[in-house]
Structure 1
Amino acid sequence: MTWTVARVGFAPIKGTRHRELPEVVLTKSGPVGDRRFCLVDPVRRRALRTVETPQLVAVTVDWRDPELSCTFPDGSRVDEAVMVDEQSIEFDYWGRQVSGRRVTGPWAAAFGRYLGAEVELVACAPGDVVFGDSLSLITTGSLAALSTLIGRSIDPARLRATAVVDDHAEGRTLTDPVESDWIGRQLTIGTATVRVTGPIARCAVIDIHPVTGERDGNLLRTLARAARTGEQFLDPIFGVQATVMQPGLLRPGDRAALIEADTTVTGAAAREAANKSPR
C-alpha cells in the first residue's frame, strides 16, 4: 500500500511558527534547518519552553543559510546574515545539557523586547533541541478522526509534524490509526528511507493556536479521553516519530510506502518509546 505526502515543514527557531515548506532535505541527523536555533534564558541557563512562552508561535522565521529572518506580530522584521561566537554556551533542555554557540546580531534584542525578558539566541547542532527522534509524521486520517471528536477542522501546523501523509483512510479511529502499523518498520518517503520508532506522547503545545500563539484548544484533553482504557489513563499520543536511515528529499506529492518489517514495537514498548516525544 502506498500513500502521498500532503504537507512538509518545520520551525527554524524552536517554538516559533511551524512553517509549511515546498521541500525538506533529510539527512541522517534529521531535517536540515529544523530547530537549528533556540532561545535561552541566560539567567536560568535553560532553553525556552513553548508551553511556557506560547507567544513564540506567533513569530514567523525563515532560514536560508546564512540569512535568518524573523517577522513579529506587529510587522517588525529582523533580517541579517548569522554570525556566531567562537565560545560555546551550555544550557538545559528538558533535563539534558546541550552545548551551542551564541548568535551575534539583533535577534536576541528583538525577541527580548517581544517577550519582555532577556534572552539569547543560540545556534545548535542538528537534533540537539529535539525531544525524541528527529522526524515526526501524522496522517490525514488521524487528523480527520481528531477533528470529528473535537467538532472542528484542525490545522495540521498545530501538531508540528515534519510531514503530513495522506493515508486515504476512512473510518479509522484515534485508537486504531494507520501510523500504528508503521511502528518498528521502515518507510520510503520521498527519496528518503526512515524507520518509525514509536508513537508521540503529546503535551499542551497542541492547545496553542498555530498562528496567534494563543491558548485556544482542548486537544490534549480530547486525546487523553480517547487514550483512556477503563480506569487506566494512558499517555495522550498522536502521530509517530522516526529516524532517517537513508537521506533524501521530501516534497508534497511524494510517495510514501512501507518497504520492510523489523521488530514491531507494541504494548509497553510502544508506550516507552512515546516518552521520547518531540516538543
Structure 2
Amino acid sequence: MIPDVTRLGLALVKGTRHLDRDDVVLDRHGPVGDRTWCLVDRAAARVLRTVENAHLLRLAVHDVGTVEEPRLAVTTPDGRTTEAGTRDAVNGIQAFDYWGRGARIRLQDTALHDVFSEALGRDVVLARAERGDVVYADPVSVVTTGALRRLEESLREAGYAVRSPLDARFRATVTLDLDDDPPPRTRLRLGEAVVEVTDPLERCAVVDLDPVTGERTDVRLLSHLRADDGRLLFGMGARVLRPGTLRRRT
C-alpha cells in the first residue's frame, strides 16, 4: 500500500510541542531526531511526562546544530528564543524512571537547564536518551484522515465546535490520506521507507490538551475514543522495515 502523507511531525525533546515537518527520515529506531532529548527531575530520578507536566507543550524546540556539535533553540511562551550548545556530562549513562521502566540517559552540560526550569517552574535538567527509551509504544505512530473525519463528526454531533485540525492533538509521526486505519501487519510504503503496522494505540489525557498552550480544551476527545473492549484507542503503531525519507504531500 502506498498512501499519501498529509502531515508529518515530531518533537525533539520528549513532551514538548510536536512540530510539523515537510520530511522525516526513518531509521530502524523510528523518526530520526524524535524524542532524542528529554527533561528529567534529577532529585526524583524520573523523566518528565507530558500528562503530568502539560506546560511542556508550550515549549518549541528546534535543532540548529550538527551531529558533531549539537545545539538547540528553545522558544518559550513569552516569545523568547534561546540557543545553546549541549554535550554529554562526565557522569555518563544513568537509569531514570519512565513509566516504571528504566530509561538510559546521558545528563547534559548546557545553559538550557535554566531555560527549561524557569519555563516549567521546577528544577529540571536536559538529557539525551538512548533511542526508543522514552517512547511509550511503537517508534512510528499513524493516524488517518478518515478516522479524523469521523471523530470530528462525532464531536460536532455532541455539540462541540471544532475549530482546528485534530491530528495535532494526537502527535502522530504521520497522517495518511486513507478512509480507514490499516490493519495490523499491513506494510506501507511511505516515500523511500517501508513500515509494518502493529497495534492500535492507547491514548491518555494529553489528547484533551491544546497542543500549543498545554491548557485543557473545551473539546474533549478522550471520551470519544472508547473501543468495544473499553480501551481508549486512536491510530496505529508501526515499526520500520526499510529505512528511508518520507515527505509530506504538497
Normalising to structure 2: TM-score of the pair?
0.91
Q: What's the offset of the Cα at 1:89?
A: 2.4
| Count of matched residue positions in the alignment of Structure 1 and Structure 2 | 238
Structure 1 SS opposite 2:238: strand
Q: What's the offset of the Cα at 1:104?
A: 1.2
Alpha-carbon distance in structure 2 between the residues aligned to 1:13 and 1:43: 20
* Partner residue, 1:212: 213
* Partner residue, 1:160: 171
Q: What's the offset of the Cα at 1:185?
A: 2.1
**Pair 1:243 & 2:239 matched:** yes
Aligned ranges 1:143-222 → 2 under 5 Å? 143-151=148-156, 152=162, 153-167=164-178, 169=179, 178-179=180-181, 181-216=182-217, 217-222=219-224
Q: For 1:126, which of 118, 131, 134 is the aligned residue? A: 131
* Partner residue, 1:111: 116
Deviations along 1:118-137, one digit per CA (max 9) or x if unpaired, are 11111012111001110000
* Partner residue, 1:102: 107
Alpha-carbon distance in structure 1 between the residues aligned to 2:51 and 2:204: 8
Q: What's the offset of the Cα at 1:140?
A: 0.8
Structure 2 residue runs of 5 or longer lacking an equivalent are 157-161
Task: Determine if contact 1:78/1:106 at 8 Å carries over to the other structure.
Answer: no
Alpha-carbon distance in structure 1 between the residues aligned to 2:39 and 2:125: 6
The percent of aligned pairs where both chains have the same amino acid is 41
Task: Determine if contact 1:32/1:126 at 8 Å carries over to the other structure.
Answer: no
* Partner residue, 1:273: none
Q: What's the offset of the Cα at 1:114?
A: 1.2
* Partner residue, 1:277: none
Query: Counterpart of 2:232 in structure 1: which amino acid?
Result: P
Q: RMSD of aligned C-alpha atoms?
A: 1.4
Q: What's the offset of the Cα at 1:2?
A: 4.2
